[in-house]
Chain A
Amino acid sequence: MSKIDIHQMDAAFKSALTDLLYQLADDDFILAYRGSEWLGLAPHIEEDVAFSSISQDTMGHASMFYQLLEDLGEGKVDDLAHSRKAKDRRNAILLEMVNGPGHYLKKPQYDWAFAVVRNYFYVQMKKIRMDSLKNSSYEPLAQIAINVNLELYYHLLHWRTWFVQLMQAGDEARKRMDAAINRVFDDFGGVLSLGPLEDEMSKSGLIEPEEILKKKWILVMEPVFDSINVSMPTNFGMKNGNGRKGEHTEDLDTALSILSEVYHVNPAAAW
């Protein structure tokens, strides 16, 4: 990692950078966890292989962003991932929502349409974010963004294929996809948001402004909707609150208590 003296860093810059890194890390971390819950439950075995591989990559990305936070003196990677409370998390609420009713060991009624739409829309936004971060004023983040981007190519291809195919399948598939699109749009504003420190982030050249990134997302997604003769919704809501401000749902509390169970048995253990 490049040698950057964090003590020389301007305080406003550092808090904007830290907040941005928490958003990036927490988004990937919780969505990778939700992806891992699908293991063994995906529609067919090839999808099981693909989705778990994507989730593994995504967890790797989260770990890189937590590493950048560790380098800034925020604490150890494992502790950042496992021991922070829900109110300290900065992930978008859409990404923490359960996969569906039931428990993954007991009567899971997971919604594949929701998984496809949530992942596709999110990964497309992540791609736009990484493209912007390649030019970030914080060099270590720019380097990680280039590496993340190489892997995202495959994730995006995967989810776009599912999305287009299920949208064209008709009948029940289409009904469930339409419902999923509405649900995802109701909270997609939370994914697009860069939170209260957005101004400082864009002013200091860490990332482009939220409005520009949102326009880029619309620009890429509109032709996909056009190609399947569907008009794209325009409400980018935050129905369940803004995760960038530490607002979260019970779904996150439950997820955190499950995923950190082993960690809390012995936080000092090396894995």
Chain B
Amino acid sequence: MEQFDLTVSNIMDALQRVKDPEIDSISIVDLGMVEKVTVNDHSICIDLLPTFMGCPALEIIRNNVVNELKRLNDINTIKVQYIYHPPWTTDRVTEKGREKLKEFGIAPPPKQIPKTGEWHVDCPYCDSTYTSLENLFGPTACRSILYCKSCKNPFEAMKPVSTM
């Protein structure tokens, strides 16, 4: 008797509970890291895209995914692997993810990077465009440090990453 009901959609719900260990308002789903979920009988395989390659959070995320999925019933094996194609780019961050980043005080990456390569960042606190870049590099590989000249707050922004 099959009463087993493990679907991709409840796995995605579970993955929504796995947060970025360094930005705990945003899930790995909203970061655009989940490329593929395969359910085969009682086995699950999750393909994740790494954000920055030297990011020390990658192994923590892998373990958190396994632990979260173990809480679902009737699973025999869970495989979580990082794949490198397609490359992770910041346009994969979802609309909800963009809001969650702002909640954390991080300006979301641009939806589209103009051909000139210019990067305009609005303040995540007051939405002012009157900001300046203090350091392209920040406290983690994926963040830059900026300053808002309107509300006088320092803030961070997610560094745009694009294949163009």
- A interface residues with partner B (beta carbon < 8 Å): 1, 46, 49-50, 53-54, 56-61, 63-64, 140, 143-144, 146-148, 150-151, 154, 157-158
- By the criterion CB–CB under 8 Å, are A58 and B54 in contact? yes
Q: Could you list some 13 contacts between A and B, CB below 8 A?
A: A1-B83, A46-B134, A49-B137, A49-B139, A50-B136, A53-B141, A60-B53, A61-B53, A61-B54, A63-B53, A143-B85, A144-B84, A147-B87
Please, how many angstroms separate the alpha-carbon atoms of A159 and B67 in the complex? 41
- By the criterion CB–CB under 8 Å, are B87 and A150 in contact? yes
Cβ contacts under 8 Å, B161 to chain A:
150-151
Q: Chain B binding site: helix, strand, loop or mixed by DSSP?
A: loop
- B interface residues with partner A (beta carbon < 8 Å): 50, 52-56, 81, 83-85, 87-89, 134-141, 145, 159, 161-163
The number of inter-chain residue pairs (CB within 8 angstroms) is: 68
What's the minimum C-beta distance from B140 to chain A, rounded to whole angstroms?
8
Cβ contacts under 8 Å, B134 to chain A:
46
What is the chain A residue whose CB lies nearest that of B84?
Answer: A143
- By the criterion CB–CB under 8 Å, are B135 and A60 in contact? no
- By the criterion CB–CB under 8 Å, are B87 and A46 in contact? no
- By the criterion CB–CB under 8 Å, are A57 and B85 in contact? no
Cβ contacts under 8 Å, A49 to chain B:
135, 137-139, 145
Cβ contacts under 8 Å, B89 to chain A:
150
What's the minimum C-beta distance from A140 to chain B, rounded to whole angstroms?
8
Contact A60-B87, Cβ < 8 Å, known A49-B139, A50-B137, A157-B136 = no
